[in-house]
Amino acid sequence: MKKPIKEIINRSFPILTNSEKKVAAFVLKNLENVIYYSITDLADKAGVGETTVLRFCRKIGLKGYQEFKLTIAQNIPEDNAKENSGSINLIQSILVNTTKALENTTTMINDEKLNNAIELLHHARSIHFFGVGTSGLTAQDAKSRLLRIGIISEAITDPHLQAMSAATLTSEDVIVALSVSGSTRDTLESLEIAKKSGAKIIAITYYHRSPITQFADVVLPGGAMESPLEGGSLTAKISQLFVIDLLYTGLALMKKDKALEMKKKTAEAVVNKIY
């Protein structure tokens, strides 16, 4: 049974501090937008610190920020475009959303940062892709993509293995961390360990001021705006894969002759697997 978020916030007003009341007032006026905000975004909009937002969530009886967003999402009806299925062709609707996500990602990518990321990967002793959930699947895709051009990498999706791996890295190693929200606790905890070990970190995330960016040497935009009820959307995954393909192509161009040779070898290795 869904919790009536407006009622919960209104009833909690007397026990909130002045700073927490700022968050409450902003949320009540902007429910439909807040579900797309990172914790940093909401803190900025309300004019408070991130810890105040977390305290606010707990004061109203929720465990944390993600549960808070999920509760809001459950209180908001699906938007008109999805409700009026007869007003737009389903295929065209998905195409428009996917194309828009790719266009937005392309617009936000900075050439200098992209080249910096490619350089880090080019000179890395080892490359590790970190991601959990849907981002973990993207990590596996990334590993497969690099293998095609002869670059051995690791795709680590288990939080315990991520943490142990992070502890063994040095300044010669690079992690590509994947998280649409940029707030995935397991990934953040592993990156904190990796940072202390001296590893270089490339973050691919939708929110440019999310917690993951605090650990990153290079931040690249990847993903799409999702409500908590849409987590793991294919639109966001396609955007992530687009950025992975940019990194892959950049590396292939830097190692042109070797990449071409490896493409042939890897293709020949699996040719008999196809009837």
By C-alpha distance, which of 57, 37, 40 is closest to 210? 40
Instruction: Report the C-alpha gap between 117 and 31 in whole angstroms.
Output: 36
Indicate whether 109 pLDDT > 60. Answer: yes
Q: Which of 128-132, 138-142, 225-229 has the lowest mean pLDDT?
A: 225-229
By C-alpha distance, which of 85, 164, 165, 84 is closest to 127? 165
pLDDT of residue 60: 92
Instruction: Report the C-alpha gap between 158 and 205 in whole angstroms.
Output: 19
Query: In the predicted model, what is the mean pLDDT of residues 177-193?
Result: 93
Q: Which residue has the higher pLDDT, 94 or 138?
A: 138
Q: What is the pTM for the complete model shown?
A: 0.76
Give the mean pLDDT of the chain: 89
By C-alpha distance, which of 240, 140, 130 is closest to 190? 130
User: Best-predicted range by mean pLDDT among 88-102, 117-131, 215-229?
Assistant: 117-131
Contacts 24+ apart (CB under 8 A), 14-20: 15/59, 16/56, 16/59, 17/52, 17/55, 19/48, 19/49, 19/52, 20/48, 20/52, 20/55, 20/56, 20/59
pLDDT of residue 226: 66
CATH T-level fold of 5-75 = Arc Repressor Mutant, subunit A (1.10.10)
The alpha carbon of 224 is separated from its chain's Cα centroid by a whole number of angstroms, namely 8
> Phi and psi of 221, rounded to 5°?
-75, 135
Residue type for position 274 = I
Residue type for position 231 = G
Residues 91-273: name the CATH superfamily: Glucose-6-phosphate isomerase like protein; domain 1 (3.40.50.10490)
**CB-based contact 155:140 (threshold 8 Å):** yes
Counting Cβ atoms within 10 Å, is residue 83 exposed (0-12), middle (13-18) or buried (19+)?
exposed
pLDDT of residue 85: 45
One fold for 5-75 and 91-273: no
pLDDT of residue 83: 45
Domain boundaries, the chain: 5-75, 91-273
Query: Looking up tokens 């459950």, which residue turns up?
Result: 74
User: Best-predicted range by mean pLDDT among 36-40, 70-74, 139-143?
Assistant: 139-143
